[in-house]
Structure 1
Amino acid sequence: MKDIADKFTAIRPDVHVEFLPAATDYIDLAQKMLRAAIASGMPDVTIGGMNTVDMLAERKLIMPLKPLIASEKDWESLGYSPSILSLGSVGGEPYCMPFTIAIKSIYYNLDLVKRAGGDPDNLPKSWDEVIALQRRIQGLGNSVSGLYADYYFDNNFTFQSLIQTQGGAMVASNGHVAFGSKEGLQALKWLRGFGEAGMIDMTAQQSYQAFAGGTIGILVASSSNIIRLQKESGGRFPIKVVAFPRASNGKVPGGGASVMLHAQESDKLKAAWDFAKFVTGPVGSTIMVHQDGYLPGNNLVINDPRYLKSFYEQNPAQRAMVEQLPLLTKWHNWSGENSLKIIDVIRDHMQQVVTLKKAPEETIAKMVSDVEALRKL
């Protein structure tokens, strides 16, 4: 962000960009915004989770972008497709600029795959096949784990991805919870399968360290970790990254962060808007992709030789993730006063299933009823 801000102020010396201390994660940032609104200490801009947009818009803590977009003379030429903007929309209207887009992905340590009798050129096409390969890798012994799926620390992103790639939904068109469907039950069964095949419950950071150290064969995590894991593994073993298995009617929820505007005064709002366009534009997106490995929220940069064309040609793992962009759908946002608590409730139910304390069949009904109760409070 400092690199991006330095380049922005070089062409806009009239605008001063000052960074506040970073939040620990998306939910922490959303809670800071709620407290700042009470204390009249809102920043002009935040880069926060797309899973919090509805909650912040509902409380009128972020500015709608439609009037700002309408003021642009040639908006269509700036590279923001309707599908990308829909990731941060509320009621069909854009409220943020997607910046660091990520999808849930599967990382394979191809050395461990081969040692377990798998074929690196013919990796699993279904979750049942993934679990079968997990068991074989687990059987290698010597402190090798077959698989870790980051389900606990990702704001329900894994759960949503498992459901929506099957063609299911978190909420139905009538507003009621929809994940009590066969897709939701199947998602819990796969999570249970991970646990039964030997998955050790650990923190996300521990799993990244273990995968980079060569002791986890399969890692289910955000695509944003590609560059980090490649660097930390030091080339000691080949890594392949693939998208989740997907049904023909399945969609891929797009997670990650977006630029949100909070400034109220016209001069500050104009400066914030210009900064948001720069951050998510070709220069900002190119810097971000090179340093962090997220997917860009701007279509102009992907195939342009001035920006990311050669990068994606040289990095097939990232290119494979970019090819998922046309399939993206919105990361579901819970609205209402208990929106953040709902995330915790779903997470805790999943942990009961993964750690084999509860069965998927008894958990799914309780999960639905608990969430519905929180939405009615």
Structure 2
Amino acid sequence: MRRRLAGISLLGVLALTSAACGSGGGGGGTPEAEGPVTITMWTRAATQAQSERLVEAYNSSHKNIQVKLTVIPTDNYQPRIAAAAGAKQLPDVFASDVIFVPNYTSQGLFADITDKIAKLPFKDGLAPSHMKLGTLDGHQYTIPHTLDLSVWFWNKDLYEKAGLDPEKGPKTLKEFAQQATTIQEKLGKDGKVHGTFFGGNCGGCYVFTFWPSVWAAGGQVMNPEGTTSLNDQPAMTDVFKIWRGLYENKVTGPTAKEEQGPTWTGFFPKGEIGVMPMPSTTLGLMPKDMKIGVTPIAGPDGGESTFVGGDSVGISSTSEHPDQAWDFLSWTVSDDAQIEVMAKNKDVLARTDLADNKYSAEDPRVVMINSLVAKGQTPYALRFGQTFNDPQGPWLRLAREAVFGDASKIPQLNAEITKSLQQ
């Protein structure tokens, strides 16, 4: 979500003759015993590291089924999927930014794996927001692949230098603003340290970091069908007002207004930011000697939530090896893969029932992040990309007016978002 995505719709692009195929095979026999078979998998570069670890671990522990992984640049991924689907040349397995899964399922690109998922003993523990977006008309087509959550990071050393309690991060968005302001006032005179930062010219950054405050306050940004925007309601405008105040008081850093996304997470690891929303996956990439606190994103007066991003994965509807593909997919969400591959590398787990495991237990921050999977949300909209991620889309115009420009334009721009969602 933190990258600029084109959000290309498949509607009108694909000429598929089949709707979502049956259950993708149906079984009979043990796929591992029927090999040798090589199945193909595509993933976008944004999730390359996690995908490679899973594929490597599976290939080293399975004899008759092997997975050949192709990593495609993130910005090229949707066009490649569209072209391959139109030519009926999709790989056996492909992952997708979870936001775009409803678009793919509605076009019949994934095989129906409802019956297969039902047989998993831990099916109720699979990340609920990912499972929701992979479900269409009561049928399930994908499972979680990689997860990335939005959380608040704070720099404990900067807090201490500014006279704040380094062990107490913000519990409300108002506290977040107060603490960021204190950092700016106490430490920002030389221009090297800033209270907070955000991607002010990046639609995906806004939804990833601002919307959880709306959810934490009990509000919503869209109707359940993803066809009506609610971004002109108090739950959202109250969040905008707080961030606008931070910008107007020069607490956000001089480049926040023009930050388009690629570098918005790069300032915190340098020790230049007091407190800011960050992707949970960056925790393991922080300097080893940096003292970092992590806490859920809250609403203006409390609550907690997160944007559950990342990728889901499914079997293509044209796969000739659906049983072997399922053998791999089901293994990726097994105890062994989730703990020994994902948790071992501090990745967010695809299963809520494994949130507190032997690896995450070593770091309470990781346990907290894993626990948020069950509390967070992933918004549903078939036209999400065009509306919210596209730099030319209506959402970015609304967000920028709300934070930097003329807030009286919010109702008009919100109507444009609804129009885009309904096209």
Note whether the superposition's TM-score is higher than 0.5: yes
Instruction: Pick from 83, 93, 111 the counterpart of residue 35 of structure 1.
Output: 83
> Which secondary structure state, in structure 1, belongs to the residue aligned with residue 146 of structure 2?
strand
Instruction: Please tell me whether the aligned partners of residues 221 and 230 of structure 2 are also in contact (alpha carbons under 8 angstroms).
Output: yes
- C-alpha deviation, 1:117, in angstroms: 2.2
Residues in 2 aligned to 1:82 and 1:3: alpha-carbon distance in whole angstroms: 20
Asked if residue 24 in structure 1 is aligned to residue 70 in structure 2, the reply is no
What secondary structure, in the 3-state scheme, does the structure 1 residue paired with 2:68 have? coil
Q: Counterparts of 1:110 and 1:250 in 2: how far apart (Å)? A: 21
Q: 1:156 to 1:77 in 2, by over 3 A?
A: closer
Q: Is the 8 A contact 2:173 2:302 kept in 1?
A: no
The aligned residue for residue 314 of structure 2 is 260
Q: 2:169 touches 2:295 (CA, 8 Å); kept in 1?
A: no
Q: What are structure 2's unaligned runs of at least 5 residues? A: 1-50
The amino acid of 1:16's aligned partner reads: Q
Cα pair distance change 1:39/1:347, threshold 3 Å:
farther
- Quote the residue 1:10 is aligned against: 60
Q: 1:94 to 1:191 in 2, by over 3 A?
A: farther
Alignment partner, residue 421 of structure 2? 375
In the superposition, relative to structure 1, how do residues 285 and 347 fare at CA in structure 2: closer, same or farther (>3 Å)?
A: farther
Q: By how many angstroms is 1:50 displaced?
A: 1.1
Alignment partner of 1:332 out of 376, 379, 388: 379
Q: Which one of 198, 218, 239 corresponds to residue 149 of structure 1? A: 198
**Structure 2: how far apart are the matches of 1:192 and 1:186?**
10
* Residue 136 (structure 2) aligns with: 90
Q: Pick closer, same or farther for the CA change 1:298–1:124 going to 2, 3 Å.
A: closer
Deviations 1:44-78 (A, max 9, x none): 212221111111111111223213334x3xx2246
> 2:147 is paired with a residue of what secondary structure?
strand
Are 2:326 and 1:273 equivalent residues in the alignment? yes
The one-letter code of the counterpart of 1:191 is W
Amino acid at match of 1:289: A
CA distance in 2 between counterparts of 1:298 and 1:101 reads 10
- Cα distance in 2, alignment partners of residues 81 and 211 from structure 1: 31
Q: Which moved more, 1:35-44 or 1:45-54?
A: 35-44
Q: Does 1:68 align with 2:116?
A: yes
Compared CA separation, residues 315 and 219, structure 1 to 2 (3 A):
same
Of 56, 67, 83, 2:104 maps to: 56
Matched, 1:240 2:323: no
1:218 to 260, 275, 290: 275
Shift of 1:250: 6.4
Confirm or deny: 8 A CA contact 2:97 2:312 kept in the other structure. yes
Please say if residues 150 and 221 of structure 1, whose CA atoms lie closer than 8 Å, have aligned partners that are also in contact. no
Contact 2:148 2:281 in 1 (8 A): yes
Relative to structure 2, which stretch is displaced further, 104-113 or 315-324?
315-324
Offset from partner CA, 1:304-347 (integer Å, 9 cap, x none): xxxxx232221121111122233233x11321xx4421012213
Are the structure 2 counterparts of residues 2 and 240 from structure 1 closer, same or farther at C-alpha, using a change threshold of 3 Å? same
Confirm or deny: 8 A CA contact 1:101 1:296 kept in the other structure: yes
Which has the higher mean CA deviation after the structures are superposed, 249-258 or 238-247? 249-258
Q: Does 1:158 align with 2:206?
A: no
In structure 1, distance between residues paired with 2:223 and 2:355: 34
Change (3 A) 1:121 1:23: same
Q: From the superposition, tell whether residues 363 and 164 of structure 1 become closer, same or farther in structure 2 (CA, over 3 Å).
A: farther
Indicate the residue corresponding to 2:161 in structure 1. 115
Q: Specify every segment of 5 or more residues in structure 1 that has no aligned partner in the other structure, as ranges.
A: 304-308
Task: Flag the structure with higher helix content.
Answer: 1
Task: Give the aligned length.
Answer: 355
| 2:249 is equivalent to residue 197 of structure 1 | yes
- Note closer, same or farther for the CA distance 1:196–1:65 as it changes in structure 2 (3 Å cut): farther
**Identity of counterpart residues, as a percentage?**
18
- C-alpha distance 319-80 of structure 1, shift in aligned 2 (>3 A): closer
SS of the residue corresponding to residue 73 of structure 2 reads coil
Q: Deviations over 1:60-111 (max 9, x none)?
A: 11223213334x3xx2246744836335433454321113223211100111
